[in-house]
């Protein structure tokens, strides 16, 4: 480690905090836990109040959102992970609804002030640069605009390229602490998810550029692409499922119009294999979220295929992906960015993929969304809808045509009730599916 870096303790590093400050935390696998804990300790011990904490999804515990810190911290995240979901639902924490592509603009435009950015970085190279590793997203914008940048220098942060590289001069305070990044064990798809994956894989053409997130359904899709050719990746995130396809040469980016030959992402969440894969890898670019999630950048890639999930979809095609009634789940995220971007792409396919029924036997295809449900993708944006029972294209279809198509891929136990609801809604001109 270069001797010119003046390391300090975590408590000393956060001692610049004051009441009313706005703090940004780097996200997902790279949340600086040691600074989070020091921030909570320092703020409580020194009687600080009304510190606003902003971030995208974070994996580790989030003590600042607990009732114990009410009045000290105000959690105003851009995305709600499982570590703060109960607190948001209980009112101890809050959420700013926003497209993922615009999170960086909250800082750059000055809509949100940013006093302190807390991040993790790799050790510096001989040129005096460090890498943000797995978390560029809105973190780069926070670093650009923050009054003070505090960085944990961690040997376990991979050396990612692209917008991840920043000069040491962009950082004001340094803490040295080596700790493995948070990992996510790859989810194993069940038969229901494998069926969804098969239907999605059938829609993916050779030469397509893919966006999909993390979880069992993306893994199910990726596991069935082994015979495809010349696929590319332009996404907000990727995980372990892409690695076998890269090794096999299926994913090579040769048909992309932007960043040809490169995998483009803005944050990561996976196993250590993923973090090792991006380390000093010239074929992976970790980019600012204003680039990865810009619908017009996305649309430049031909055959852009975006696969996103949902909680509920009604028979008009409204997609709920953030909340059911008063139960809050996540947030808008990047779904609309990629659904719209893929719809503008030449030969693009925006896809909503979801199980037709929950593990408790409740249909996820419904007549009307529950009261309070958040519409993330509108009925005007939706194209392809996929369940384990098939794939239907709703683009250009009337409301009655949509109802018939959506009901056709509902669970058989729900079809009759949905048919009756559609008949009650549209009258005698509507004809039952059966």
What pLDDT sits at residue 429?
73
Beta strands in 196-326 (DSSP E): 209-212, 232-234, 237-238, 263-265, 267-268, 284-286, 304-308, 312-314, 319-320, 323-324
What pLDDT sits at residue 327?
63
What pLDDT sits at residue 354?
96
Q: Of the residues 59, 193, 236, 312, which is catalytic? A: 236
Q: What are the tens digits of pLDDT across the range 300-353?
A: 999 999 999 999 999 999 999 886 655 666 778 899 999 999 999 999 999 999
Domains 10-176 and 191-429 in one fold: yes
What pLDDT sits at residue 324?
62
CATH number for region 191-429: 3.40.1080.20
What pLDDT sits at residue 164?
98
Domain boundaries, the chain: 10-176, 191-429
Class for domain 10-176, per CATH?
A: alpha beta
What pLDDT sits at residue 277?
98
What pLDDT sits at residue 325?
57
What pLDDT sits at residue 303?
98
Q: CA end-to-end span of the chain, whole Å?
A: 71
Q: Structure pTM? A: 0.95
What pLDDT sits at residue 195?
97
Inter-CA distances, 29 with 75, 128, 174, 274, 412, Å: 19, 24, 19, 11, 40
Taking 70 as the pLDDT cut, the residues of the chain under it are 1-3, 323-329, 430-434
| Contacts of residue 223, Cβ cutoff 8 Å, sequence gap at least 6 | 189, 194, 197, 241
247 is catalytic: no
What pLDDT sits at residue 52?
98
């Amino acid at each position: 480690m270069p001797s010119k870096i003046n390391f300090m303790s975590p408590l000393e590093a956060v001692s610049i905090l004051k009441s009313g400050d706005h703090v940004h935390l780097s996200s997902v696998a790279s949340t600086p836990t040691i600074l989070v804990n020091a921030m909570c300790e320092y703020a409580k011990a020194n009687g600080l109040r009304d510190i606003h904490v902003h971030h995208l999804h974070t994996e580790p515990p989030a003590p600042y959102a607990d009732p114990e810190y009410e009045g000290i911290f105000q959690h105003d995240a851009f995305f709600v992970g499982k570590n703060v979901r109960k607190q948001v639902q209980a009112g101890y924490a809050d959420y700013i609804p926003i497209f993922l592509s615009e999170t960086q603009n909250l800082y750059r435009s000055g809509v949100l002030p940013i006093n302190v950015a807390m991040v993790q970085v790799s050790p510096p190279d001989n040129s005096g640069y460090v890498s943000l590793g797995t978390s560029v997203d809105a973190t780069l914008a926070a670093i650009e605009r923050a009054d003070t940048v505090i960085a944990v220098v961690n040997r376990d942060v991979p050396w990612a390229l692209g917008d991840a590289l920043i000069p040491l001069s962009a950082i004001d305070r340094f803490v040295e602490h080596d700790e493995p990044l948070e990992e996510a064990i790859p989810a194993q798809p069940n038969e229901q998810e494998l069926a969804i994956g098969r239907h999605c894989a059938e829609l993916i053409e050779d030469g397509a550029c893919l966006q999909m997130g993390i979880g069992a359904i993306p893994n199910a899709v990726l596991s069935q692409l082994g015979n495809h050719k010349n696929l590319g990746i332009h996404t907000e995130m990727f995980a372990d499922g892409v690695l076998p396809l890269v090794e096999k040469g299926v994913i090579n980016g040769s048909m992309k119009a932007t960043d040809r030959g490169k995998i483009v992402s803005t944050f990561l969440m996976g196993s250590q294999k993923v973090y090792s894969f991006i380390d000093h890898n010239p074929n992976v670019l970790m980019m600012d979220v204003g680039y990865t999630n810009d619908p017009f950048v996305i649309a430049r890639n031909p055959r852009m295929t975006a696969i996103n999930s949902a909680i509920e979809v009604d028979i008009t095609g409204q997609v709920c992906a953030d909340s059911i009634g008063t139960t809050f789940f996540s947030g808008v995220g990047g779904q609309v960015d990629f659904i719209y971007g893929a719809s503008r792409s030449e030969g693009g396919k925006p896809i909503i993929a979801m199980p037709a029924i929950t593990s408790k036997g409740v249909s996820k295809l419904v007549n009307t969304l529950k009261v309070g449900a958040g519409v993330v993708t509108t009925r005007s944006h939706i194209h392809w809808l996929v369940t384990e029972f098939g794939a239907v294209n709703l683009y250009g279809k009337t409301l009655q045509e949509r109802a018939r198509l959506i009901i056709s891929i509902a669970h058989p136990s729900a079809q009759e009730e949905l048919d009756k609801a559609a008949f009650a809604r549209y009258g005698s001109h509507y004809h039952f599916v059966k």
